[in-house]
Amino acid sequence: MTRPVTLFSGQWADLPIETMCQKARSFGYDGLELCCWGDHIEVNKADQAYCDNRRALLDKYGLKLFTISTHLASQCVCDPIDERHRGILPDYLWGDGDPEGVRQRAASEMVKTGETAKRLGIGTVVGFTGSPIWHMLYSFPAVTRQQIDNGYKEFARRWIPILDEYQKMGVKYALEVHPTEIAFDITTARRALKAVNNHPAFGFNYDPSHLAYQGVDYVKFIYEFADRIFHVHMKDVYWSDQPGDIGVFGGHTEFGDNRRFWNFRSLGRGRINFENIIRALNDIGYSGPLSVEWEDSGMNREAGATEACAFVRKCDFEPSQVAFDEAMKK
């Protein structure tokens, strides 16, 4: 059996949850990866009755649930907090905007999100971590080794207590390796794991699109962290071979500006080699969902999400259970 194909609802949170279920079913998906914003999953309301209601709603449309995603609140656990964060947080987490208060409320929300996952009967939460050192990415003014070391210590200080609670609940946290997070390529992912002492509740949501345009070997990532890939996003990206006006840092332009060096694109319309990804996932024995995170500023999202579902089904395949040349042997 090939892997279930789900649709991440984060880019559809402007739609009510039942409308989203109807659309996902009509697009051909097996399930949803529900985001913790809009009314898809409301962590502050998610008692057992609420969670049972959500499962019943998905069952009504024949949809499965494997994970929930908390990218917005999780970003605030160890970020330097400013007005940008106010735009992604509900009022009860923003509060008076005091940065440390925001970080502490976000950390508490992470634990509650794990509890919500458990009530929903699932074992994985996907999200971000934030980073106290992302703003030091380009080393000028000069950044010292100690400052970077301290950043990873700060990440560990804030996240290990959360991960300890996840371990008690039997839930895993999957960081989406991504620019602006504590881990954004292979080397920083290794370092993040080391910082939390290879915590058994901590791993990764694999998304090749965030690695590829940086020049990171996105297939190697799968092999490197074979036992830590808890969830997979299917997302494509295009990048140019030609020099232009806007480089890899984006030039303070908006997504979808076709002058950019790179842009997310609907699956099959970018440059990611999904054949090699599927083969690598087969090699490591990943049997979880393939979750489409649909992002393409230049394409109708309903047409794109429908096309993407069909694309994933076409490119996924089961590993062989027998060597093809066995029949040639005596």
Range of the domain at 191: 5-328
Q: In angstroms, how far apart are the furthest CA atoms of the chain? A: 76
CATH number for 278:
3.20.20.150
Give me the helix-helix angle, 48-60 and 17-27, nearest 10°.
Answer: 30
The angle subtended at Cα 267 by Cα 266 and Cα 268, nearest 5°, is: 115
Contact 102, 85 (CB under 8 A): yes
Cα 54 off chain centre by: 21
Residue 146 burial by CB count (10 A; 0-12/13-18/19+): exposed, middle or buried? exposed
* pLDDT tens figures, 188-210: 999 999 999 999 999 999 999 99
Residue 320 CA to residue 307 CA, distance in Å, equals 27
Cα 228 off chain centre by: 13
pLDDT of 321? 81
pLDDT of 159? 98
Q: What is the pTM of this model?
A: 0.97
Residue 294: pLDDT band with limits 50, 70, 90: very high
Residue 264 pairs in a beta bridge with 237
Percent of the chain scored above 70 by pLDDT? 98
Q: Inform me whether the pLDDT recorded for 301 exceeds 70.
A: yes
Question: What is the dihedral sign for C-alpha 175, 248, 150, 100?
Answer: negative
Contact 266, 236 (CB under 8 A): yes
* pLDDT tens figures, 227-276: 999 999 999 999 999 999 999 999 999 999 999 999 999 999 999 999 99
Residue 80 burial by CB count (10 A; 0-12/13-18/19+): exposed, middle or buried? middle
Q: Inform me whether the pLDDT recorded for 50 exceeds 80.
A: yes
pLDDT of 318? 92
Domain count, the chain: 1
